[in-house]
Amino acid sequence: MTISNIILILLIVGVAALIIYFHIKSKKDAEIVTNIDVDDQTYTLQQMIEFIKRRLDEITKINLYDIGLSEEELVRRKSKKYELKKALKGCTYGDVNDKKYVKELIYDLLAKEYGVNEMNISKAIPFDIPSLLTAQDKFDILIYIYKKEFGYEALSEMIRKYQLDEFKYIQGETKPCYVITEDEINEIYEKENIELLFTDKLNIVVQRIYQQYKGYSSIDEIRDMNIDGVSGRCIWIT
């Protein structure tokens, strides 16, 4: 065996090793989110939404043929993947059960994969400092608590209890109208004196993420209530 033969063999072996290395590395990198880098922004709503989007995308787009499953396992995994895809599609049309399923999945993803806990959940919504809560935060908390007790009658119950369906004058308007103002929400929130458990807080965050990602934004929860309907209009400002 000449020197050139040995060099050639080493070269071929080296190239083969490199190809295998990069092949395995690319597969590893492609598979699921690796470590989550924790910084100040990690547990903000925006970052959480990004994470959920990415993870749900990965779960629904994973190539099952690559995992090397048995025939029966493959059929079952396909069925579960199809189930999730169906739920993700169905929830955009307002299906309550699909919405519930997607929300449960988001809940588990945040609690078990993203590491949301009692300490960091307030970075998404400042539950511990009421003065920092926006009117929407407060309304989300209130509707969650009422929904726990009254189910789909939550909104009606809240309106009835605080007589929010009265004709009233608001600043800058000449005619009275039916309206629920920010001040009223703040007042109700103060009166209710709500104490939340971690699971409640996470459920509220999950709802917020869901309504921004898949749901109907701020009217998402209201839409599900036992009400005649929701109507909206666009005001074009030129």
Partner 1 sequence: MSIITFWNGTDDEVGTTTSSVAFATQMAIEHNIKVLLLSTSLNDSSIKDSFWPENKKKSFGFFADTRNKMIENNGLEGLERVIRSNRITPETIKDYTKIVLKNRLEILLGIDGEGETLQKQYMLIQETYPEIIELADRYYDMVIVDLDNKIKTSTRLEILQKSHIIVAMTSQRLKSIQKIDNLIKQNNILNEENTIITIGKYMDDTRYNAKNITRNLLKKRDIINTIPYNNLLFEATQEGKIIDLYFNFIRLREKDENYYFVKEIKRLYANIKGKIELLQMQRKI
Contact segment (CB under 8 A) with partner 1 among 3-11, 27-35, 127-135, 153-161 equals 27-35
| Residue 97 is a binding residue for partner 1 (CB under 8 A) | yes
How many other CB atoms sit within 10 Å of the CB of residue 162? 17
Between residue 50 and residue 79, which ones bind partner 1 under the rule CB under 8 A? 70, 72-73, 76, 79
| Residue 209 is a binding residue for partner 1 (CB under 8 A) | no
Q: Candidates 52, 105, 141, 225: give the one binding partner 1 (CB under 8 A).
A: 105
Distance CA 38, CA 25 (A): 24
Whose Cβ is closer to partner 1: residue 5's or residue 70's? 70
Tell me if 125 sits within 8 A of 204, measured CB to CB: yes
- Beta carbon of residue 108, minimum distance to partner 1 (angstroms, whole number): 5
Between residue 153 and residue 182, which ones bind partner 1 under the rule CB under 8 A? none
Q: Candidates 98, 140, 220, 224: give the one binding partner 1 (CB under 8 A).
A: 98
Whose Cβ is closer to partner 1: residue 83's or residue 173's? 83
- Beta carbon of residue 203, minimum distance to partner 1 (angstroms, whole number): 12
| Residue 152 is a binding residue for partner 1 (CB under 8 A) | no
Whose Cβ is closer to partner 1: residue 42's or residue 186's? 42
Tell me if 55 sits within 8 A of 112, measured CB to CB: no
- Beta carbon of residue 173, minimum distance to partner 1 (angstroms, whole number): 43
Distance CA 172, CA 105 (A): 45
